[in-house]
Amino acid sequence: MGKSKKKRYNESLLPRNLLQWKKAGIIYLMMAPALILMIIYKYVPMAGGLMIMFKDYRITRGIFASDWCGLKNVIDLFTHPFFPFVMGNTVIISLLKLIFGFPGPILLAMMLNEVRHSTVKRIYQTTYYLPHFISWIVIANLLFAFFAPSSGALSPIFQRLGIHYDPLMTASQYRSFLVITDIWKEIGWSSIIYLAAISSIDPTLYEAAIVDGANKYHLLRHVTFAGLIPTIMTMLLLRVGHILNAGFDQIFVLQNSMVYMVSEILDTFTYKVGFQQGNYAMGTVAGLFKSIIGLVMILAVNKIAEKLDTRVI
């Protein structure tokens, strides 16, 4: 009797599951063209590009006609005499931007949220967002116009004050200058998602905290910041995935021979080796290496976030 009931129960579920599968199948069918295009234009070229790693690639012969060379390109990259200091610069600059640049948008979003006058708030937001839309080429020209050692607009002021500040030509000042200019350019744009997260916090939480005697500091710490923690962890996870992206555009336009030893990063190195010297295979190896490091960092930070999720507040 129990078996027959169980059989009838399973049979009664079967049409319902088929119906759900058919409904989902329509959605999958709608997604199929985009999925096919992604496979053709993303994953197929990716497979061909990764094949360059194991070939003595010649652009005139193409990927498939080039000779196989095994792990020679991988060995050449990791045994290159400039690779250690290139990796060191990449990690140092990336960590500096992460440590000093990541908290900035969070603090800016919390401060903008406290501005009650809507017109003033819009002015502030527009002012902070604007640098994001300016190309690093334009910004580099402006920075050289202001900080050039002899002809810069600010150079006479520094000289009269007795301050030696030449960040574009002094190695000891160059990295901090990169971090400061990167924060100035991106802080407003990066704060948008935190402002959106703050707007989704339940207003009754603020009212309840005020009733309990919370002051402004307590509201910012235990309501606003606590409500931002899931978004902060998500953004940190995404940021760590690009830990070896130290900012190719910025460094490429601001780099010069005086600061080469502290500014040469993996991206600029592979650009010069790949495009200027024609060694495209080494550039492919470097790109895959960055992707692997990013994947490992994402998995590691994700595990840490899972363990800290219940204790972070």
Domain boundary among 70, 91, 116: 70
285 in the same domain as 145: yes
**CA distance linking residue 245 with residue 186, whole number of Å:** 15
User: What residue has token string 């603090």?
Assistant: 107
What is the pTM assigned to this prediction? 0.78
Is 100 contained in some domain? yes
Is 183 contained in some domain? yes
Local confidence band at 311 (pLDDT 50, 70, 90 cut-offs):
very low
What was the pLDDT predicted at 215?
A: 86
Greater model confidence, 259 or 312 = 259
160 in the same domain as 286: yes
What was the pLDDT predicted at 313?
A: 40
81 in the same domain as 65: no
Arithmetic mean of pLDDT, 50-76: 81
Q: Which residue range(s) make up the domain with 25?
A: 2-70
User: What residue has token string 């840490």?
Assistant: 304
Is 53 contained in some domain? yes
Positive/negative CA dihedral, 131, 137, 142, 144: positive
Q: Does the structure show a pLDDT above 80 at 305?
A: no
Q: How large a percentage of the chain has pLDDT more than 70? A: 91
147 in the same domain as 15: no
Domain boundary among 17, 50, 70: 70
Closest CA to 181 of 194, 167, 170: 167
Q: How many domains does the chain have?
A: 2
Closest CA to 214 of 225, 205, 202: 205
Q: Where are the alpha helices (DSSP H) in the chain?
A: 2-38, 44-51, 72-78, 83-101, 103-113, 118-129, 136-147, 155-160, 171-190, 192-199, 203-211, 216-219, 226-240, 248-254, 260-263, 266-271, 280-308
pLDDT, tens only, 68-110:
888 888 888 888 888 888 888 999 999 999 999 999 999 999 9
User: Which of the residue ranges 1-10, 122-131, 172-181, 302-311 would you say has the lowest mean pLDDT?
Assistant: 1-10
Is 92 contained in some domain? yes
101 in the same domain as 33: no
Mean pLDDT score across all residues of the chain: 82
62 in the same domain as 107: no
SS3 67: strand
149 alpha-carbon distance from chain centroid = 32
131 in the same domain as 273: yes
Side-chain half-sphere CA neighbours of 71 within 13 A: 3
Angle between helix axes 103-113 and 171-190 (nearest 10 degrees) is 40
Is 184 contained in some domain? yes
Arithmetic mean of pLDDT, 144-162: 81
Closest CA to 236 of 106, 132, 133, 87: 106
What was the pLDDT predicted at 100?
A: 92
Is 313 contained in some domain? no
Q: What's 289's domain CATH number?
A: 1.10.3720.10
220 in the same domain as 133: yes
227 in the same domain as 88: yes
**CA distance linking residue 172 with residue 169, whole number of Å:** 9
211 in the same domain as 184: yes
User: What residue has token string 């496979």?
Assistant: 39
236 in the same domain as 99: yes
56 in the same domain as 9: yes
Domain boundary among 70, 90, 106: 70
Q: Which of 15-19, 47-51, 277-281, 296-300 has the highest mean pLDDT?
A: 296-300
Local confidence band at 20 (pLDDT 50, 70, 90 cut-offs):
low
Is 45 contained in some domain? yes
Give the CA distances from residue 201 to residues 205, 206, 305, in Å, rounded to whole numbers and listed in that order: 8, 9, 21
- The contacts of residue 197 (CB under 8 Å, 6+ apart) are 109, 227, 228, 230, 231
Is 163 contained in some domain? yes
